[in-house]
């Protein structure tokens, strides 16, 4: 029975069915499967497989996004039943598009990728002020603050974040990663961001490197 | 001082022969698109997260949900309000009237594409962040090239303080070209006020600004079916000053729009009509235009993809939809996916798209010079695209049929056998036929055409070294300095 449920968990993620994933998680936990095991041996291998298929260009982005949504729904149910300090996550990321900037397609893809890679992501959406990034990061005890900027006129807010973190003595507490079309490694070096990534897969890789996971 | 330099700027728009026009839709199909749009506007509505806009719509008789910030626009209100938009108007130059963009529904003007973020350095060939100098250099090249009717700063001035970027783009543009300037990087009303001041300085007076506005702005709704307050507020500052404002939907096939091209048109049309309707409610009679900037989503990366077969359709079929509402249309934001200027794909894309664009009769076509989905500038790219457009202009100008051109007398006089080498028409026309595009690339010494790459570099360098745009009057330059100073004091922390 357990074997069957774990296989089902993988399948439901691959199919990207959010409702089914949450329901399966609830039923499995009620049925006595430990939530951590359900995650680690069912849902996580499912999303890892989807990630692999995507990297190999066997599936399209919308399928990855749906799988990531299903994963989030399943993880939420599992994590509710796991004591906070034992929660299964590779790290906590606060993500958003900077102030004055309403571009969020790239940022949302990064969100899906990070979720699919096992990070707990708090997506603050677009047009997010520096203060709001920091406040949320402190509230959820984040490891990383990730910012997206798509306009030459809004990149400056990524710098503002670095400066504010330094002023508040928080630079050591949160790692930072930046991205978006006008942004590059040179800009990251210039403002003192810990990492830059060109695309969503790169974002997951760089954050893993930053956190050593 | 400025009197010393004679203007060498020219523009060569295209007036297509009506018989050569290409249509994508029958009248009945257009009507179906229109009706579908009305249904979307009435049933789904559009989000306007602005109290002022919601109140304006409510007062005008739209169905407004203040809590959800959704406006549903009844058809009669929509059509009555859109009818206030001028069908024809002028986008002025700062030079002679011969450089004005005259939107009369019959003439198509090509313009540069904007606003990229990176430049392949002309000297070193290395990719770097774009600068204010690039904005000025490309304005100068555009001032020289006849095919360019108006100038959209091709890249962002990333080397100035971010809140001042749009203003420095205008400074570099107006200083280096007499042609009409069009921008997109002004996104807040605080900057808009200074942009208007710069336009007024160029146009001399508020009165003149309305007759020949030297500056226009493009803003975007957020697909699906939402508006951005800051963008709308910016648009109103321009519209109130008499500067033309365009709306462009960037709805993307498969991500922010349905994965069906007609469906994308319906949704994008609903967004644009809601923007245009709003501006006409606030500023009746304000000059506006209609634009689609749609691409397909790259299914693997989520990025914007210039699909070689679909992009020309998306760029050009929309012209008819915009014209259905009697509003000037901007179409064809060129651009390929390529990073390599010398790739076959880049040239192929530009060629197919540009011919179709003229044949569909867009009024404004800001389509030349950028790559990598409108983000990367290659100086020579503009010169190469100019070449393609000169060829296309040759095609689009069409053939004149009359007694002389039919050449019956000459054909009879030569009769079967013989040749035309020494005939009057040969003597009269051969030079003109040759000069139509190809003469500058012929190398008489080599007895062959020049290498495309070398010729483009040479021409770019020549323009940079030799073309002298008519400078701004000294008092306007001083005024610009004052405006930039004031903006810095207010906007830079
Ligand atoms: C779609 C689009 C829009 C849509 C956005 C819809 C949405 N919901 O996001 C709309 C229509 C709303 C829009 C509006 C505007 N836009 Co726009 N837009 C684009 C366009 C065409 C594509 C952007 C996009 O979604 N790309 C697809 C995604 C997947 O790519 P991406 O964002 O780069 O993200 C990837 C990477 O960068 C990276 N990444 C992204 N974020 C992060 C974060 C982290 C932490 C990391 C590590 C990595 C990472 O991973 C992502 C996935 O691989 C670009 C042109 C272009 N080709 O880029 C212009 C563009 C960015 N826009 C531009 C402009 C000017 C505007 C407007 C100001 C226009 C106006 N006047 O109204 C407004 C913005 C108003 C504002 N205040 O923000 C300009 C910018 C010019 C400049 N020099 O700054 C561009 C370049 C177009 C142009 N050539 O003129 N836009």
A103, A149, A153, best to mutate vs chain B, most B CBs in 10 Å: A153
Residue range A28-43, pLDDT digits in tens: 999 999 988 998 899 9
Token representation of residue B428: 């009269």
Largest Cα separation within chain A, whole Å, is 57
Annotated domain spans of chain A: 2-81, 92-211
Chain A residues with at least one Cβ partner in B under 8 Å? 54, 57, 60-62, 100, 102, 105-106, 109, 151-156, 181-182, 184, 186-187, 199-200
Token representation of residue B149: 């009717």
Under 8 Å between Cβ of B275 and B71: no
Percent of chain A scoring above 70 in pLDDT: 98
Cis before B224 (ω within 30): yes
Specify the 3-state DSSP secondary structure of A2.
helix
CA A83 to chain B, closest CA, distance in angstroms equals: 36
Positive or negative, the Cα torsion across B185, B187, B188, B192? positive
A3: CA distance to ligand 1 center in Å? 45
Under 8 Å between Cβ of A47 and A88: no
pLDDT of residue B1: 45
Confidence bin at A87 (pLDDT 50/70/90) = low
In degrees and rounded to multiples of 5, residue B407 shows phi and psi of 55, 30
Q: Does B334 contact chain A (CB < 8 Å)? A: no
| Cβ neighbours of B165 in A, within 8 Å | 152-153
Positive or negative, the Cα torsion across B258, B260, B265, B270? negative
Query: Ligand 1: which of A64, A181, A196, A211 to mutate, most ligand atoms within 8 Å of CB?
Result: A181
Q: Packing angle between helix B310-324 and helix B344-360, nearest 10 degrees?
A: 20
Beta strands in A55-139 (DSSP E): 92-97, 120-123
The nearest alpha carbon in chain A to B222 belongs to A102
B273: CA distance to ligand 1 center in Å? 22
Option in B185, B299, B303 nearest A153 (CB): B185
Q: Which residues of A14-41 are buried (b: 16+ CB within 10 A; e: fewer)?
A: bebbbebbbebbeebbeeebebbebbeb
Query: How many Cβ contacts (< 8 angstroms) between chains A and B?
Result: 62
CA A80 to chain B, closest CA, distance in angstroms equals: 31
Specify the 3-state DSSP secondary structure of A150.
coil
Q: Does B56 contact chain A (CB < 8 Å)? A: no
Largest Cα separation within chain B, whole Å, is 84
pLDDT of residue A86: 67
User: Quick one: which of B79, B7, B3 has its CA closest to B41?
Assistant: B79
Domain A92-211 bears CATH identifier 3.40.50.280: yes
Cα–Cα distance between B29 and B36 in angstroms, integer? 11
pLDDT of residue A112: 87
Are residues B375 and A155, on separate chains, in Cβ contact within 8 Å?
A: no
User: Quick one: which of B366, B382, B279, B370 has its CA closest to B330?
Assistant: B366
Option in A60, A181, A187 nearest B375 (CB): A181
How buried is B76 (Cβ within 10 angstroms: 0-12 exposed, 13-18 middle, 19+ buried)? exposed
**Rounded average pLDDT over A154-167:** 96
In this structure, the dihedral spanned by the alpha carbons of residues A15, A19, A22 and A25, taken in order and rounded to 10 degrees, is: -60
Cα–Cα distance between B168 and B163 in angstroms, integer? 10
pLDDT of residue B437: 59
ipTM: 0.83
Q: What lines the ligand 1 site, CB under 6 Å?
A: A 100-107, 109-110, 146-148, 150-153, 177-182, 197, 199-200, 203; B 114-117, 156, 184-185, 187, 218-220, 222, 228, 230-231, 250, 252, 256, 301-304, 373-375
| Cβ neighbours of B185 in A, within 8 Å | 151-153
Cα–Cα distance between B287 and B290 in angstroms, integer? 11
Option in A61, A153, A181 nearest B299 (CB): A61
Under 8 Å between Cβ of B171 and A165: no
CATH code of A2-81, in short, is 1.10.1240.10
Cα–Cα distance between B458 and B33 in angstroms, integer? 48
Check residue A98 and report its DSSP letter.
B
Q: Which residues contact B219 (CB under 8 A, 6 or more apart)?
A: B184, B187, B228, B231, B232, B234, B235, B245, B246, B247, B248, B275
Specify the 3-state DSSP secondary structure of B168.
helix
Token representation of residue B304: 């914007």
Are residues B162 and A154, on separate chains, in Cβ contact within 8 Å?
A: yes
How buried is A151 (Cβ within 10 angstroms: 0-12 exposed, 13-18 middle, 19+ buried)? buried
Length of chain A in residues, anyone? 213
Under 8 Å between Cβ of A88 and A40: yes
Under 8 Å between Cβ of A24 and A74: yes
A104: CA distance to ligand 1 center in Å? 8
Q: What is the pLDDT along chain B (493 residues), one digit of tens a residue?
A: 445 678 999 999 998 888 899 999 999 999 999 999 999 999 999 999 999 999 999 999 999 999 999 999 999 999 999 999 999 999 999 999 999 999 999 999 999 998 999 999 999 999 999 999 999 999 999 999 999 999 999 999 999 999 999 999 999 999 999 999 999 999 999 999 999 999 999 998 777 899 999 999 999 999 999 999 999 999 999 999 999 999 999 999 999 999 999 999 999 999 999 999 999 999 999 999 999 999 999 898 888 888 888 888 998 899 999 999 999 999 987 667 777 888 888 888 888 888 888 889 999 999 888 888 889 999 999 999 898 888 888 888 888 999 999 999 999 999 999 999 999 999 999 988 887 656 567 788 888 888 888 889 999 999 999 999 999 999 999 999 999 999 999 999 8
Q: Does B116 contact chain A (CB < 8 Å)? A: no
Residue B323: count of CB within 10 angstroms of its CB: 19
Confidence bin at A89 (pLDDT 50/70/90) = confident
pLDDT of residue B2: 46
Beta strands in B359-398 (DSSP E): 364-368, 370-371, 376-378
Token representation of residue B411: 């054909």
Token representation of residue B343: 């790739």
Between β-strands B148-151 and B180-183, what pairing exists: parallel, antiparallel or unpaired? parallel
Cα–Cα distance between A131 and B327 in angstroms, integer? 43
Helix (H) or strand (E) holding A195: strand A195-196
User: Quick one: which of B78, B56, B79, B76 has its CA closest to B66?
Assistant: B56
Under 8 Å between Cβ of A196 and A187: yes
Q: Do domains A2-81 and A92-211 have the same CATH topology?
A: no
Q: Is 90 exceeded by the pLDDT of residue A139? A: yes
Residue B297 Cα: closest atom of ligand 1:
27
What are the residue ranges of helices labelled H in B147-188? 165-176
CA A157 to chain B, closest CA, distance in angstroms equals: 9
pLDDT of residue B436: 65
Higher-confidence position of A96 and B206: A96
Q: Packing angle between helix A156-167 and helix A130-139, nearest 10 degrees?
A: 50
Check residue A167 and report its DSSP letter.
H
CA A154 to chain B, closest CA, distance in angstroms equals: 7
Option in A61, A105, A153 nearest B162 (CB): A153
């Amino acid at each position: 029975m357990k074997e069957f449920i774990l296989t089902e968990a993988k399948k439901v993620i691959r199919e990207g069915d959010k409702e089914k994933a949450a329901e399966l998680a609830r039923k499995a936990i009620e049925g006595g499967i430990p939530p951590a095991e359900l995650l680690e041996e069912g849902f996580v291998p499912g999303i890892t497989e989807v990630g692999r298929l995507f990297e190999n260009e066997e599936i399209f982005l919308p399928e990855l996004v749906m799988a990531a949504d299903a994963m989030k729904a399943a993880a939420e149910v599992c994590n509710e039943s796991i004591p906070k300090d034992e929660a299964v996550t590779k790290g906590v990321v606060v993500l958003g598009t900077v102030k004055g900037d309403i571009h969020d397609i790239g940022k949302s893809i990064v969100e899906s990728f990070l979720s699919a890679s096992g990070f707990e992501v708090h997506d603050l959406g677009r047009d997010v002020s520096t203060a709001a990034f920091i406040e949320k990061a402190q509230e959820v005890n984040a490891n990383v603050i990730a910012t997206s900027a798509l306009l030459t006129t809004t990149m400056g807010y990524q710098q503002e974040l670095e400066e504010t973190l330094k002023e508040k003595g928080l630079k050591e507490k949160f790692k930072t990663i930046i991205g978006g079309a006008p942004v590059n490694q040179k800009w990251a070096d210039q403002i003192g961001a810990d990492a830059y990534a060109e695309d969503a897969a790169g974002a997951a890789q760089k954050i893993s490197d930053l956190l050593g996971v | 001082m400025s009197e010393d330099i004679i203007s060498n700027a020219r523009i060569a728009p295209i007036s297509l022969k009506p018989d050569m026009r290409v249509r994508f839709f029958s009248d009945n199909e257009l009507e179906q698109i229109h009706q579908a749009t009305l249904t979307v506007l009435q049933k789904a509505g559009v989000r306007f997260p602005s109290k002022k806009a919601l109140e304006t719509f409510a007062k005008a008789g739209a169905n407004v949900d203040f809590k959800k910030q959704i406006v549903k626009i009844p058809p009669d209100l929509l059509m009555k309000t859109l009818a206030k938009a001028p069908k024809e108007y002028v986008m002025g130059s700062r030079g002679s009237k011969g450089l004005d963009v005259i939107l009369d529904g019959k003439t198509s003007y090509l313009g540069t594409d904007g606003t990229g973020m990176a430049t392949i350095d002309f000297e070193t060939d290395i990719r770097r962040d774009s600068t204010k100098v690039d904005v000025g250099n490309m304005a100068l090249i555009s001032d020289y090239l006849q095919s360019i009717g108006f100038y959209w700063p091709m890249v962002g001035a990333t080397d100035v303080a971010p809140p001042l970027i749009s203003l420095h783009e205008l400074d570099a543009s107006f200083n280096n070209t007499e042609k009409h300037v069009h921008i997109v990087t002004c996104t807040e009303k605080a900057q808009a006020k200074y942009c208007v001041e710069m336009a007024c300085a160029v146009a001399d007076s508020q009165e003149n600004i309305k007759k020949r506005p030297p500056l226009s702005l493009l803003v975007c709704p957020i697909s699906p079916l939402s508006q951005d307050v800051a963008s709308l507020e910016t648009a109103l500052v321009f519209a109130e000053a008499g500067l033309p404002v365009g709306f462009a939907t960037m709805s993307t096939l498969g991500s922010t729009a349905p994965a069906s091209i007609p469906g994308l048109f319906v949704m994008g049309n609903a967004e644009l009509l809601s923007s245009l309707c709003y501006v006409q409610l606030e500023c009746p009679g304000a000059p506006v235009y209609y634009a689609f900037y749609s691409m397909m989503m790259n299914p693997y990366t989520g990025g914007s993809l210039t699909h070689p077969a679909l992009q020309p359709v998306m760029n050009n079929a929309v012209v008819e939809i915009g014209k259905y509402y009697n509003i000037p249309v901007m179409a064809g934001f060129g651009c390929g996916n390529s990073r390599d200027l010398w790739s076959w794909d880049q040239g192929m894309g530009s060629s197919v798209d540009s011919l179709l664009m003229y044949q569909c009769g867009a009024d404004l076509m800001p389509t030349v010079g950028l790559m990598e989905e409108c983000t990367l500038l290659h100086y020579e790219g503009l010169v190469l695209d100019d070449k393609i457009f000169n060829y296309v202009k040759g095609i689009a100008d069409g053939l004149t049929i009359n007694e002389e051109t039919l050449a019956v007398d000459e054909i009879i006089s030569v009769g079967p056998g013989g040749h035309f080498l020494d005939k009057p028409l040969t003597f009269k026309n051969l030079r003109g036929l040759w000069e139509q595009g190809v003469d500058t690339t012929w190398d008489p010494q080599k007895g062959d055409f020049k290498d495309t790459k070398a010729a483009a570099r040479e021409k770019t360098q020549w323009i940079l070294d030799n073309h002298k745009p008519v400078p701004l009057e000294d008092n306007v330059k001083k005024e610009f300095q004052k405006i930039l100073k004031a903006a810095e004091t207010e906007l830079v922390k």
